[in-house]
C-alpha cells in the first residue's frame, strides 16, 4: 500500500542556477543529511519526509517543445502557505507563470530547466 510520496526528482543542467531558483525564489534549504551519491545533486526537504531531489544531468529532452501551461505537462503540485508572496517573488524575478485554468488559487511555472511546478494555496 502506498503511504505517500517520498521524493520527486528533477534533472538540472546547472546546479548553481537551479539552486538560485529553489533556494532564493522558493525558499527551500538544502538537506545536508543526505548521503553523497555517484553524481552531483542536491536534496531539499519540502515537508516532513517529503523531498525534491535535483540531479546534475544533461536533459535528454533538451529542445523539446513544452506546453505553454505547465498544467498540461508532467509536474509536481506543492501546497504553499504564502501564495501571494510566491507570486510576487516570481514576478520580481521575471519568472513567467500561469494561473490554474480551474479557477482555484494555484499557479504553474517552470524551473530553469523547464521542469513544471504547480503551487496551490493552502486553505
Residue 21 lies in a domain: yes
Residue 33's pLDDT is what?
A: 85
Residue 98 lies in a domain: yes
Q: What is the pTM of this model?
A: 0.90
Supply the range of the domain harboring residue 108.
7-59+66-121
Residue 52's pLDDT is what?
A: 96
Residue 2 lies in a domain: no
Residue 11's pLDDT is what?
A: 93
Q: How many domains does the chain have?
A: 1
Question: Tens digits of per-residue pLDDT, 52-94?
Answer: 999 998 877 778 888 888 888 889 999 999 999 999 999 999 9
CATH number at residue 35: 3.10.180.10
Residue 1 lies in a domain: no
Residue 38 lies in a domain: yes
- Grid cell in block for residue 103: 479557477
Question: Tens digits of per-residue pLDDT, 19-63?
Answer: 999 999 999 999 988 777 788 999 999 988 899 999 998 877 778
Residue 45 lies in a domain: yes
Amino acid at each position: 500500500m502506498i503511504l505517500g510520496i517520498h521524493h520527486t526528482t528533477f534533472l538540472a543542467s546547472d546546479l548553481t542556477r537551479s539552486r538560485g531558483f529553489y533556494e532564493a525564489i522558493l525558499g527551500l534549504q538544502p538537506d545536508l543529511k543526505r548521503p553523497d551519491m555517484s553524481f552531483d545533486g542536491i536534496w531539499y526537504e519540502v515537508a516532513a519526509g517529503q523531498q525534491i531531489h535535483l540531479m546534475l544531468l544533461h536533459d535528454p529532452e533538451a529542445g523539446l517543445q513544452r506546453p505553454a501551461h505547465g498544467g498540461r505537462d508532467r509536474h509536481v503540485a506543492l501546497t504553499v502557505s504564502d501564495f501571494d508572496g510566491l507570486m510576487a517573488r516570481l514576478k520580481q524575478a521575471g519568472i513567467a507563470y500561469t494561473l490554474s485554468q480551474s479557477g482555484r488559487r494555484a499557479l504553474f511555472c517552470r524551473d530553469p530547466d523547464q521542469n513544471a511546478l504547480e503551487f496551490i494555496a493552502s486553505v
